[in-house]
A and B are shown apart, each in its own frame.
Chain A
Amino acid sequence: MVDEKKVKKESWTGEDVEVLGETYAEGKPDTPVLWRKKFKNREEMLKYLKSGERYWFSDDWYGSEKRKTPA
């Protein structure tokens, strides 16, 4: 696990507090962020389509279109 970064911020009441800072890796990517290579097989790819791309591929209509009939 990477070390947690702490940053000093002012709280609602005006006191200085230490809170958890940003968690992303700093700097620029030397190599591309190859997240799409994480799918191991077709099953995982299709599963991701239904979750990650659920706006189009979930069995239920999503979000603002949940209760609507298809056009």
Chain B
Amino acid sequence: MADNEKEKKAQKQEKPRFTTVDAAILDLCNNVEIPEITCWDRTKKQSPRCSFGEKGICCRICSMGPCRVDESREKLKYGVCGVDSNTVAARNFIRMIAGGAAAHSDHARAGAETFLAAAKGEAPGYAIKDEQKLLQLAMDFDVSVGDRSVQDIAIEVGEKGMGIFGEQFGPIPLTKRAPLKRQKLWAEQGMLPRGVDREIVEIMHRTHIGVDMDPVNLMQQGSRAAIADGWGGSMLATELQDIMFGTPVPILGRSNLGVLEKEQVNIVIHGHEPSLSEMIVAVVQDPEMIERAKQKGAQGINLAGICCTANEILMRHGVPLAGNFLQQEMAIITGAVDAMVVDVQCLMGSLPRVAECFHTKVITTNYRAKIPGATHIQFEEHDAVETAKKIVRAAIDNFPNRKEVYIPDVECDLIGGFSHETINYLLGGMFRASYKPLNDNIINGRILGVAGVVGCNNVKCEHDAGHIDLVKELIANNVLVLQTGCSAVACAKAGLMLPEAAAKYAGPGLAEVCETVGIPPVLHMGSCVDNSRILMAATAMVKQGGLGDDISGLPVAGAAPEWMSEKAISIGHYFVASGVYTVFGTTWPTTGASELTDLLFNGYEEITGGKWDFALESNVQAQKMIDHIKKKREALGIEKARKRILYDMAMRRELDAG
């Protein structure tokens, strides 16, 4: 064997079993004998991957396939039906958008159903908590307010909300929140979404064998569906949840596996929809439940969350984050989780098998998301309190079954709750709420720009490292970072969501602004449907003035360094379709289709003003984002202002002397 081959082999063997920078996971694997049941073990077993699948050029849409289409090999240039790699990859790509948009929007639909039931008084336990936000949505939906009762308004708002899914002609009313120029561009490009369901169905039709084969035309429909997600389904989910459960305000939270309590019944809520978890938050405080826990030998009940359900209940109640996507199995491995209660999305099919090795009860609660081996307790919004009690009782009764427990002593505080409304309020106050201070500080150069860093974890890369390294690099360069999803959880665990992080990690300009306003340099804006809050913040920046008249002109950029889900592709694409330069890491699903990749990475800038990009390393991603932000600053003519401000003291003295 050649020397370098031996070296390569040795390096491969040295690769640690758990590729993560998370101190809790590293501590856990040093102290617990972990059977080969984790996603890291399965990843190893699944390697090497099919390169056609990885490059987006494997088609299995009809039974004449699967076809492996390769533009670089003459004999594999076309699939059996005659399409080339660009068509195959474009169809696969927009099917990912359809999957992601469907997930966010079906989440929104479930929320709208609960909202409507609550408004009609048919869902005891739920109420309209934020009347002001209800009025806001009523105005968006042209629902008259006057002196009508909250209930009346809520019923009409709920019905109009449900309407955005089945609407045939559109446009979806919430798209009217976008900057005027953006709305005009969407209309001109045929991208204004009609109804959410219609756009998703049309993707499935167009990508059926023998229908749409033009990558540009396919991507236009992908864009329309993605906009229906961001400015439709996702935005509606955020708004209805805020009305029912409260618009998030700054709140102290804790993060990482160390939030689990050895002496208490630990219930971990995992998934994405907050309707049930909101009820569990209320029920665990019920004296009857606490008494039951004590009877079983526990000191009390501790609630924690994983993934976006965690973000939802952190933002509104300060319930601690046990971890992000790649920590769901690890939470069970602590032996301290008495029940893992899951709703929808990003659940691992392995949870019941991992639980079997420990003692955790995995409870599915949604008829749309059952897992073989789990206990199913159906969540009924009409009887939510009883459902929540049943689940909490099951967790308490499982406490005496615990075996060995090891909870890593690793946790970190964070401040969450930065809704768009709260940022607006914090920047300007009750009587002059405004994005003006943000825009002014961008114009005067203290803040270079704004970045949205969002998305998942992916076991193909080093867990959390991509998020943390990128965000640290951005804030060091005076870029204010807005976060959601598992990316937010990663940075919370790294201590980046505390006001003191500004002095420690941010560049001097950003640190000064953060200290003045009293905010961290990295703002937790919520779950993945709450990326709609970032769209609102970007729109407010445009409408405030001074930074151009469209999102595409702003010195902003987006990234999902550890993305893995179809939802991430839909989110990324609605940012691109809204005019944002968006960089993904880890892997890119169209690399086998050169023309399509060129369209997404270059051509789209001419169509929507936004475009995709891809880079593996965090520093390259950061540099690309910073370069883009600087390009936009130059186009706005504000790069000069920054240069003037950065005169140092010696230069100023020289000027004075002159």
Contact = CB atoms under 8 A, between A and B. Distances in A.
Interface of A: 10, 12-14, 22, 24-25, 28-30, 32-36, 38-39, 42, 45-46, 48-49, 51-53, 55-57, 61-66, 68, 70-71
Contacts of B432: 51
30 contacts: A13-B653, A22-B516, A22-B518, A24-B516, A28-B252, A28-B413, A28-B415, A29-B251, A29-B252, A32-B249, A33-B250, A33-B417, A35-B422, A36-B421, A39-B132, A42-B131, A42-B135, A45-B135, A46-B135, A48-B430, A52-B428, A53-B136, A53-B421, A53-B424, A56-B177, A57-B136, A63-B542, A64-B542, A65-B180, A65-B549
A30 B430 contact: no
Identify the 4 closest CB pairs spanning chains A and B, nearest first: A24-B518, A63-B545, A52-B433, A55-B543
Nearest to B129: A36
A28 to B, nearest CB: 5
A63 B544 contact: yes
Contact of B544 (A10, A28, A55, A71): A55
Contacts of B415: 28-29
B180 A71 contact: yes
Question: Size range of the interface on B?
Answer: 35 or more
Contact of A51 (B139, B433, B546): B433
Nearest to B130: A36
B656 interface: yes
A32 B421 CA distance: 15
Contacts of A65: 179-180, 542-543, 549
A70 B180 contact: yes
A51 B496 CA distance: 32
B141 interface: no
A26 B247 CA distance: 24
Interface in B179-200: 179-181, 183-184, 187
A55 B250 contact: no
Interface of B: 130-132, 135-136, 139-140, 145, 147, 177, 179-181, 183-184, 187, 246-247, 249-252, 318, 413, 415, 417, 421-422, 424-425, 428, 430-435, 498-499, 515-518, 539-540, 542-549, 649, 652-653, 656
A52 B146 CA distance: 20
A34 B249 contact: yes
Contacts of A32: 249-251, 318, 417
A48 B619 CA distance: 42
A61 to B, nearest CB: 8
Given A64-B544, A71-B187, A55 B539 contact: yes
A36 B136 contact: no
Nearest to B251: A32
A54 B521 CA distance: 26
A51 B252 contact: no
Given A51-B433, A56-B177, A64 B548 contact: yes
Contacts of A64: 179, 542-549
A48 B434 CA distance: 12
B151 to A, nearest CB: 14
